[in-house]
Structure 1
């Protein structure tokens, strides 16, 4: 009897699944995380976070379908840590996502932690520390998922990975106290000392004429976006943030913190000269620009090692003169259509405000994310039926509970004059509206009236919207994104400027808590890390495992400033207080020294007592 078409298809799919299982590997990395010395910009040697005694860190390279195991030991001695595998969905393995106090406890010095999950995606990603601002200290590197079935696999001959990063000469622990403090009430972000290309400067990519190269571009910075172009070369964009796109011609990109682009570049047929690869800092992000800060850098496509390596010929005065390709216009290769009207809309506005301690904080809708006393995933797993009640996650984690498979629309308005790259863990989202767009008008509203989203008056949503996991919110502008809540887990949504996250610019989305309880299992070793760190792993946000609705003792954000105070007023108050204290100190010292009696005889001027007289 002949098999039906359905039987044949089922047989084929079973063979394909078996083939994939046979091909899949287990890729294991053993990371001993310690301090090492490095001087990547040649200007200053400093401690950085290394792995196995080395820095730059080792890239992680796997194939789609592989199981990745990273055994990490914290040998730093004085700092907690973790690893976030940026862009990985972690479907069913939410406990491997990495942000401390969200899906795990911070890993204290002397403890080990194993990350173990299957790679179900393809494309360009990166890994970094996600605990108390530690990745600016060098704990960041590429994570590449190779895919020999991609539509562009046969279009290139070789590939390179390029990371771009800002670089500080001070450790985060030395920067943070003065950043979030009364002395910095405007919240001015720390200015980097230099900007690196593959963790160094003045580097060359050897190329051969006529060949096509796949370049994976990753901004692993803590703060600053960069423009990217190659002199006298154009390229085709084929991927953003792990999403294959229809091949799209471009000549310049704006790459914000945490964003990735993969491009195809075909070389010229001549070896007469080498061509500058140019990166230009988005200096608008900087509150001040030191006179010795270099804002543009040249590296090279090296056709001929013996030929000159010319510096870039920049024809712009400021970075706002640059017009990069607008990622809003990219079409995914799979042509996934616009998601249907949302089941839930989340309206958010970004604010930067001075709070009661005189420091500047970031917030969504007046909530500055404040970490709970129990990692939120562990609260889900221990809360029973109350896991669907957002109350148990605290008042200051800004938690939204989502139902399974809801279509979620997030409207984000910017009440700040700076731009912000926002990242959603566990998802790629559709970008359906943004204003203003890249190019000449991107900064139009930075100093004028804001441009909030108007649901009754907006441009037509794209038929096949761009998808990515990190997207830039324009200054005083807005964006609208959609995604399906099809990945049960606790997912962080936050600005990826690490200084802004430290100020509280984040919130939590908890998808299908009941399904999380069914599907997610935490290894015993992860709970042992909590014990070593002295962190509770059962209970609500306040650590109460008896009454989950009792939040007494929860961590709270800093209180509100009394009405009438402004950032300028805070500055004036700080300096007035400082002057007053200095004046009082001088008076006290002078008073303690005593006052000479008028009858006391002045010392006579002699050769032996001239110095004493001068001191008097």
Structure 2
């Protein structure tokens, strides 16, 4: 009997130890530096690499693991950071990554350690969140494997596909926020990539089911996705498992993710185009050499033909993708109750007095504070619950712990905007126009804001995700529970629009943040190295937290009466006037010319008079090519 008890005790100990040791620490050491790459074969350029390589490494962890990323900034000329897109960062919003929101920018030559537990599952990605630098190549997939996923027994193998837009110029060299671009037209990419390359093949076996993870890691352009002569089942969006749902075509906005189950055909006689189509409605100008439709291949047979997809560019407007708002979460989480707090904002694109095009939520274009907002929370004591200390131009909203929050996002702009919420996924409970109408067919009339007294019934089990597309001149309504204390950005994930200020900051349960968050000394040391204060209000005032007189402010508005057309005319008139004055100045400062005209009398032989124009310059110089003739050169002869 004693031996039996001892055996049972040992078995129990082993089981307990195994349960505690399932989770592990996964460590990545990243030396971030410049490397060269030419992913589209059109232009080699410097990109941001990791450990001397590009494409960047895929981060892979299991649900429950602790992820540690030791990052060294070896760029030499650029600050940086890492945002782990879609990670909830429970009690660790100081590891979230957006500079001047939850941390200071990491200057060249300094290290920063990100350390947090991953208690979620699904498909994510990581990217730079400082000075809008991820279009320079600093972005890649982050995969969280889940041994308990409900569809684990339904597939045999898996792979990840990233899509992205690609620029040949550095972000800092593109004139976007500029007098030369008063309308705010987004820079058009030079090409579109598939797993950071083009014309690639994904080898598959016949009669096999694959889990395919799809991530748009681009900076601007949404893309349609389909595989010729194949359907698939959607099983995840943005880390949220869904009921398996049959689909043929997806619309993947920047920052969105899908996981699909695809079963291959029981044949190897041909290969099938994997088609990605850039949403041309987002582009102001399309050059003839920009390839919007790209073909890669689901390769059953390496020896068989690899046909190009049969499709015209104009057909992109006719593609009808699956409507993501109709997806039902696998956990059947019900519609949240009526909100305790509502945020109602409208997207507006407009110019300010410097002539640049900015983006606004209501009348505020996001402007960085002098102190990272999280550090204001940590240094403000009981005043942390007062929105005023975070500055007017960060557009702060303080949320109470565990409140149900409803966010109504109206669009007064004629473009679509994929908005991302850090620290949460959210229920999508309403949107207009309906997906059955092409978004851009909605532009014939005026913008249609959400009317709480007149809307369709909200779904019983709303779709959940962390990035959702706001339709042109339409709206969407989302709900979430403020159960994750931290400082979280809500922003458009088109990187150009973020640089224009299309963002706001949610400070969630600030007194709880002070209890649960610990900021490592290394992070404060990085602030000192970057010359960024880390105490006080948004103006870095530590004595009077309500004195915001030194805060960073947005540009003042244009004088009344200016229209968009008038702004453009004014800007280009100013540019023309400036150039004209410059030419006059240069001409006025050039050396004065003396023209001597000698008229010869008529010769006896009856030839006509000739005009000898001897051009000399006072002081002997010859500005503009008009100096005295060189020795041995005849003066210019003009018929007279």
Provide the TM-score with structure 1 as the length reference.
0.95
Distance 1:79 1:266, change over 3 A: same
Give the structure 2 partner of residue 49 of structure 1: 48
Cα distance in 2 for partners of 1:534, 1:491 equals: 23
Unaligned runs of at least 5 residues, structure 1: 1-12
Report how far residue 314 of structure 1 moved. Answer: 1.4
Contact 1:424/1:493, CA 8 A, preserved across alignment: yes
Matches within 5 A, 1:105-504: 105-175=104-174, 178-314=175-311, 317-504=314-501
Aligned partner of residue 181 in structure 1, secondary structure: coil
Cα distance in 1 for partners of 2:446, 2:27 equals: 52
Per-residue displacement from partner, 1:172-211 (whole Å, max 9, x unpaired)? Answer: 1101xx2001111110001100000000000000000000
Per-residue displacement from partner, 1:289-316 (whole Å, max 9, x unpaired)? Answer: 1111110000000000000000001166
Cα distance in 2 for partners of 1:25, 1:515 equals: 27
Distance 1:502 1:600, change over 3 A: same
Aligned partner of residue 501 in structure 2, secondary structure: coil
Contact 2:293/2:313, CA 8 A, preserved across alignment: no
Matches within 5 A, 1:599-614: 602-603=612-613, 608-609=632-633
Aligned partner of residue 67 in structure 2, secondary structure: strand
Aligned partner of residue 443 in structure 1, secondary structure: helix
Cα distance in 2 for partners of 1:85, 1:594 equals: 62
Contact 2:292/2:313, CA 8 A, preserved across alignment: no
Tell me if 1:518 matches 2:519. no
Report how far residue 598 of structure 1 moved. Answer: 6.3
Distance 1:571 1:95, change over 3 A: same
Report how far residue 227 of structure 1 moved. Answer: 0.1
Report how far residue 578 of structure 1 moved. Answer: 2.3
Contact 2:205/2:300, CA 8 A, preserved across alignment: yes
Give the structure 2 partner of residue 10 of structure 1: none
Per-residue displacement from partner, 1:371-405 (whole Å, max 9, x unpaired)? Answer: 00000000000000100000100010000000000
Question: Highest Rg: 1 or 2?
Answer: 2
Aligned partner of residue 304 in structure 1, secondary structure: coil
Report how far residue 595 of structure 1 moved. Answer: 5.2
Tell me if 1:97 matches 2:96. yes
Cα distance in 1 for partners of 2:567, 2:509 equals: 44
Aligned partner of residue 392 in structure 1, secondary structure: helix
Aligned partner of residue 84 in structure 2, secondary structure: strand
Distance 1:593 1:80, change over 3 A: closer
Report how far residue 585 of structure 1 moved. Answer: 2.8
Per-residue displacement from partner, 1:556-600 (whole Å, max 9, x unpaired)? Answer: 011101111122212211222222223223333333335555666
Give the structure 1 partner of residue 34 of structure 2: 35
Provide the TM-score with structure 2 as the length reference.
0.91
Cα distance in 1 for partners of 2:118, 2:19 equals: 12
Cα distance in 1 for partners of 2:467, 2:31 equals: 29
Aligned partner of residue 582 in structure 2, secondary structure: helix
Report how far residue 604 of structure 1 moved. Answer: 6.1
* Two-structure CA RMSD over aligned residues (Å): 1.9
Report how far residue 611 of structure 1 moved. Answer: 7.8
Tell me if 1:551 matches 2:548. yes
Cα distance in 1 for partners of 2:223, 2:297 equals: 17
Report how far residue 247 of structure 1 moved. Answer: 0.1
Distance 1:595 1:71, change over 3 A: closer
Report how far residue 603 of structure 1 moved. Answer: 4.0
Per-residue displacement from partner, 1:196-239 (whole Å, max 9, x unpaired)? Answer: 00000000000000000110000000000000000000000000
Tell me if 1:505 matches 2:497. no
Per-residue displacement from partner, 1:252-310 (whole Å, max 9, x unpaired)? Answer: 00000000000000000010000000000001000111111110000000000000000
Distance 1:489 1:613, change over 3 A: farther
Distance 1:156 1:562, change over 3 A: same
Give the structure 1 partner of residue 626 of structure 2: none
Cα distance in 1 for partners of 2:473, 2:321 equals: 20
Cα distance in 1 for partners of 2:614, 2:141 equals: 76
Cα distance in 1 for partners of 2:16, 2:257 equals: 30
Contact 1:351/1:362, CA 8 A, preserved across alignment: yes
Contact 2:62/2:146, CA 8 A, preserved across alignment: yes
Report how far residue 608 of structure 1 moved. Answer: 4.2
